[in-house]
Amino acid sequence: EAAVTQSPRSKVAVTGGKVTLSCHQTNNHDYMYWYRQDTGHGLRLIHYSYVADSTEKGDIPDGYKASRPSQENFSLILELASLSQTAVYFCASSERTYEQYFGPGTRLTVL
Amino acid sequence: AQSVTQPDARVTVSEGASLQLRCKYSYSATPYLFWYVQYPRQGLQLLLKYYSGDPVVQGVNSFEAEFSKSNSSFHLQKASVHWSDSAVYFCATGNYKYVFGAGTRLKVIA
């Protein structure tokens, strides 16, 4: 069974609209992460969290908010979606400094 | 600052041939290093990891990688590739906050 799941798997949003991407993990990991992947590029870290009710900024946090209401759940929020936020978004979890386990990704298209 | 460079954006090899995908890293301390594979429309799957000790690490599906501190490298290798190895391969480094390379797209041809 998949240990990191994401919903939705695909979404089309309008410019200026609000988008929420959800991630759920059953690994019992403390750390969770949100990355974006653009065509031809590697993954870049947006936000991460190492404990419930707390989030930290990653390398490219502008335009994104995150929420970690429980150990298992981590959401990425785009308050005002823009064309430049069209990308594939991946959630991951890890046991502190150990390897990360990734979800299947959410393909977001902003029109 | 940490960085990872994968100098080859695309690599094409014949089925049964050997493979090396290159990765150079920049890190101030002894790095944690990883190779991940991404199949079309899927998430990243861990191939292998290096934390310390033996510089040659074995991974899944007969992949291995060699850590070199002097060369700041962590190249991925496989003795004989199969068509199913066609995918995008990412090298990453970090201590809970990863930095990824841009990836190498591998195509295995008959």
Sequential DSSP letters for chain B: --EEE---SEEEEETTS-EEE--EEE-SSSPPEEEEEE-TTS-EEEEEEE-SS-SEEE-GGG-EEEEETTTTEEEEEESS--GGG-EEEEEEEEESEEEE---EEEEEE-
Q: What is the pLDDT of residue A2?
A: 58
**CA–CA gap between residue A103 and residue A93 (Å, rounded):** 9
**CA–CA gap between residue A18 and residue B68 (Å, rounded):** 46
Split at pLDDT 50, 70, 90, the class of A10 is very high
Contacts of A58 in chain B (CB under 8 A): 97
**CA–CA gap between residue A79 and residue B75 (Å, rounded):** 41
Residue A102, pLDDT > 80, answer yes
CB contact under 8 A, A4 and B49: no
Q: What is the pLDDT of residue A99?
A: 87
Q: What is the pLDDT of residue A95?
A: 87
Of all residues in chain A, the one with the smallest CA distance to B91 is A42
Split at pLDDT 50, 70, 90, the class of A60 is very high
Q: Which of A48, A97, A103 sits opposite B32 (nearest CB)?
A: A97
- The distance of A101 to chain B (nearest Cα, Å) reads 7
Contacts of A33 in chain B (CB under 8 A): 98
* A 22-51: CB under 8 A from B: 31, 33, 40-45, 48, 50
Residue A6, pLDDT > 70, answer yes
Q: Which of B41, B49, B90 sits opposite A42 (nearest CB)?
A: B90
Q: Is the CB of residue B88 less than 8 Å from the CB of residue B103?
A: yes
> Rounded to an integer, what is the distance from CA A48 to the centroid of its chain?
8
Q: What is the pLDDT of residue A61?
A: 97
Q: What is the pLDDT of residues B72-82, one digit of tens each?
A: 999 999 999 99
Q: What is the pLDDT of residue B60?
A: 94
Q: What is the pLDDT of residue B2?
A: 82
**CA–CA gap between residue B46 and residue A39 (Å, rounded):** 20
CA distances from A60 to A36, A41, B105 (A): 9, 14, 24
- List Cβ neighbours of B33 (8 Å cut-off, separation of 6 or more): B23, B25, B49, B50, B65, B67, B74, B91, B92, B93
- Pick from A13, A23, A28, A38: nearest CA to A91: A23
Q: What is the pLDDT of residues A67-99, one digit of tens each?
A: 999 999 999 999 999 999 999 999 999 987 778
**CA–CA gap between residue A31 and residue A28 (Å, rounded):** 9
Name the maximum alpha-carbon separation found in chain A.
37
Q: CA angle, B36 as apex, B34 and B42 as ends, to 5°?
A: 155
Q: What is the pLDDT of residue A1?
A: 59
Q: What is the pLDDT of residue B63?
A: 97
**Three-state SS at A14:** coil
Q: Average pLDDT over chain A, rounded to whole?
A: 94
Share of chain A above pLDDT 90, in %: 90
Asked, as a colleague might, if the bond just before A61 is cis with ω within 30 of 0, I would say no
Q: Which of A44, A94, A103 sits opposite B96 (nearest CB)?
A: A94
Low-confidence ranges of chain B (pLDDT < 70): 28
Q: Is the CB of residue B48 less than 8 Å from the CB of residue B36?
A: no
